[in-house]
Amino acid sequence: MCSVNFEKKIFVNPPQPYWIASTDITNYPALEEDITADVAIIGGGMAGIVTAWLLVEKGLRVVIIDADRIISGTSGHTTAKITSQHALIYDNIKTKLGEEMAKQYVEANETAIKIISDLVEKNNIDCDFQRTDAYVYTQEDKYVEKILREIEAASSLGIEAEYRDKIDLPIEIKVAECFRNQAQFHPRKFLLALADKFVERGGQIFENTRAVDVQEGSKAVVLTENGKKVTAENVILASHYPFYDKPGLYFTRLYPERSYILCIKIKDSYPGGMYISAEDPGRSLRSVPSGEGELILVGGEHHKTGHGDNMAKHYENLLQFADRVFEVEDVLYRWSAQDYTTADEIPYAGRLTSKTPNIYVATGFRKWGMTNSVAAARVISDLITTGNSSWHDVYNPSRFTPAASAKNFIVENADVAKQLITGKLAPVPEDIELEPGEGKIVEIRSEKAGAFRDENGQLHLVDTTCTHLGCELVWNSAERTWDCPCHGSRFSYEGDIVEGPAVKIIKLSRRQE
């Protein structure tokens, strides 16, 4: 075990992804006048920027707007594995959706790897792109048959999936599946360079420009928080969660989850490869080259957003796992990520609904956003420029949902209803005795409020009703945020939006010493 008490050290500094810490902050302007374009893309992450590049290469006038800085959301909080190995999924797709849909999914994600590789090579992008193998392994007997079925299903779909009874990590396993020649990279270095290339080709990027609504029509109009408008022939919602979902009811079809990552240094030598366990909660491992030497990302500990009581324990659990596998030398960074999963676990990429032919959406990447974002970008860019896509059926947001997925839909929305009710009825204390760094829900003059006391002793009070659909927020001690247990909106302790679908802040009721 570690000789240093890292459990305390990892909470000294606030969460920050290595990807963001190791790159420059962008400085694109905010939108200050009404503009027109062929395509308006809302969201400057992996899906938005790659789609923008594919479209600007076709000669279209493309605009990206982002509520914050580009590549600061989920694309800046990923583990950045570029792989078609999405845990254990292919046997499930074949069984529930059929072989043709499974083949489309394979082709889309295998092609996505090549698209990224080609973009890196053709544009000479320095982003630590590296080919490596990807593994799913298990240490439990109950997952052995699942992995064997997955190897058989993946192989039948044309993937070179190999059986392994051992891996190079110092872990005793029952069985593992290996996908050869996958990849990993530094996502922000890649996307920052591609964004620069996009602007050089005539594209426009506006940061700190929050979209709050879309007016449908033959030319759609994106309305922003500051009253400025973007009028475009086509609009793409690539904001991770579709903030505009009135026609499609996406809030009933997406499941929000958080997962956690530690970036550590080890005294041992990392054997190479990307790994994920089949067990629940899973464990994910990959290496990262850096100026500080080789770093290791240790991820896992997923749970539904806004659920659970001691969020900080997730980082501690990851550190304990890392210390059993390696000799941990230091913990350099920690962060968490939010992902959305659809009812049948396959992303949505295409027209928002059948009645909105010029509004598109890309969402629900289920932790596998590097390749699925690129596949979504290809689907949407093809639909806009040619009217069709060879992968449209499997990614179609309006696709038929099988009975098993319908069950997930019912369970999820029953939980949302429960959260709406219990959040309103839950008793709260009437005092606001808080230690520095502590947050909780309190009652002030018969009204609920979210209270947090910072290290300077200042008390921050916010409304705890989510501005999306009215669920009651809960305190996230690991990230110091107020999280919605229904649809995943997150707010800072000062009330600002950290993550959508909410587009309005939770108004500060007051501050006091």
Give the 3-state secondary structure of residue 384: helix
Q: Which domains, and CATH codes, for the chain?
A: 438-512 (2.102.10.10)
CB-based contacts of 406-409 (< 8 A; 24+ apart in sequence): 406/343, 408/255, 408/343, 408/344, 409/252, 409/253, 409/343
How much is the CA Rg of the chain, to the nearest whole Å?
A: 22
What CA–CA distance (Å, rounded) separates 303 from 317? 13
- Which amino acid is residue 179, in one-letter code? F
The residues facing 299 across adjacent strands are 261, 284
Asked if 223 and 229 touch (Cβ cutoff 8 Å), the reply is: yes
What CA–CA distance (Å, rounded) separates 162 from 288? 25
* Cα 42 from chain centre: 16
For residues 423, 428, 431, 432, the Cα torsion angle rounded to the nearest 10 degrees is -30
What CA–CA distance (Å, rounded) separates 438 from 457? 10
Q: What is the DSSP string of 171-183?
A: ---SEEEEEEEEE
H or E stretch including 423?
Answer: helix 403-425
Give the pTM. Answer: 0.87
pLDDT of residue 422: 53
What CA–CA distance (Å, rounded) separates 44 from 375? 16
Local confidence pLDDT in tens for the 513 residues of the chain: 444 455 555 666 778 999 999 999 999 999 999 999 999 999 999 999 999 999 999 999 999 999 999 999 999 999 999 999 999 999 999 999 999 999 999 999 999 999 999 999 999 999 999 999 999 999 999 999 999 999 999 999 999 999 999 999 999 999 999 999 999 999 999 999 999 999 999 999 999 999 999 999 999 999 999 999 999 999 999 998 888 877 667 777 888 888 999 999 999 999 999 999 999 889 999 999 998 899 999 999 977 765 666 677 889 999 999 999 999 999 999 999 989 999 889 999 999 998 999 999 999 998 899 999 999 999 999 999 999 999 999 999 998 655 445 555 455 445 554 444 454 445 444 556 777 877 887 877 667 788 888 888 888 888 888 887 778 888 887 778 888 888 778 888 888 888 878 777 876 544 433
C-beta neighbour count of 439 within 10 angstroms: 21
What CA–CA distance (Å, rounded) separates 354 from 442? 45
pLDDT of residue 194: 98
C-beta neighbour count of 248 within 10 angstroms: 22
